Amino acid sequence: MKRTAATRALILLTLWALLLALPQRARAQEDYRYDIGGGFGMTGYLGDANSANLWKNPSWDLQVCFRYLPNNRWAFKTNMYAGGLRGNSAQMENVLPEARNFKFTTTFYEFGELAEFNFFPYGMGKQYQKLKRWTPYIAAGFGFTVWSTDQKAHFSPVIPIGGGVKFKVNPRLNLGVEFLMKKTFSDKLDGNDLSDPYLIKSSFAKNTDWYSTLTFTVTYEFSKRCRACNYKER
């Protein structure tokens, strides 16, 4: 009788432990295919009205983003930005021809695609995969931006490149900070008066304007990758 009672107790405890473990395992195996969010931050500008100090005349930026998350190492992000840019050639050590000075202020609107590579496998749960709640990452992509100076609208392709850090607050909520330098294919980001002040013909490598975005983001993940517990390793 004592052996039977002990056996029953052991079976009940085992079943109870399994019941407690099943929800935890299900939660650990949940991950998501997409995230969406936004952020805010500051911009910098390099061009004919500011040739050295990227943060000489910082301005603002707002971002909306959407990511596709194929796995824990890669992400593909669609970015939409609005931001301000400004510069003043009088603050430079370089002197423009005829000692002229120019300053400008403009608002840009950017749409782009980025590929991100995480240095660590990013996520929560699945301890056997050695996932990390935070990771640095690098990013590069392409896009285009539009802006207006001298009451004229302008358009240019851009190549963003940079990186950032992500942190998981919980399985769905992410915080991040990202810095991107963005090369334009135009010398008119700062206006027509500064499109070619030194009479140097523009090319891919020289005499074009750059700007940067430093953005703090919050994103939320959705669309479970696998709703059942029979998870198949990717």
57-94 pLDDT tens trace: 899 999 999 999 999 999 999 999 999 999 876 665 55
Residue 230 domain-assigned (yes or no): no
Same domain, yes or no: 82 and 113: yes
**Domain containing residue 17:** 1-30
* Inside any domain, residue 233: no
pLDDT score of 29 more than 50: no
Residue 57 in any domain: the answer is yes
Pairing mode, if any, of strands 152-168 and 173-184? antiparallel
Residues 156, 47 within the same domain? yes
Residue 230 confidence class, pLDDT cut points 50, 70, 90: low
* Position 109 in a domain: yes
What's the burial of 204, exposed, middle or buried (CB within 10 Å: 0-12/13-18/19+)?
A: exposed
Residues 57 and 3 in one domain: no
| Structural domain contains residue 85 | yes
Each residue of 101-145: pLDDT tens digit? 677 899 999 999 999 999 999 998 766 778 999 999 999 999 999
Check whether residue 54 and residue 24 sit in a common domain.
Answer: no
- Mark whether 102 and 217 lie in a shared domain: yes
Residue 83: CB atoms within 10 A of its CB come to: 24
Q: Same domain for 20 and 80?
A: no
- pLDDT (tens digit per residue) in 159-204: 999 999 999 999 999 999 999 999 999 888 876 655 555 555 555 5
- Is the pTM here over 0.85, yes or no? no
Assign residue 200 the CATH number of its domain: 2.40.160.20
Domain count, the chain: 2
Amino acid in the structure at residue 22: L
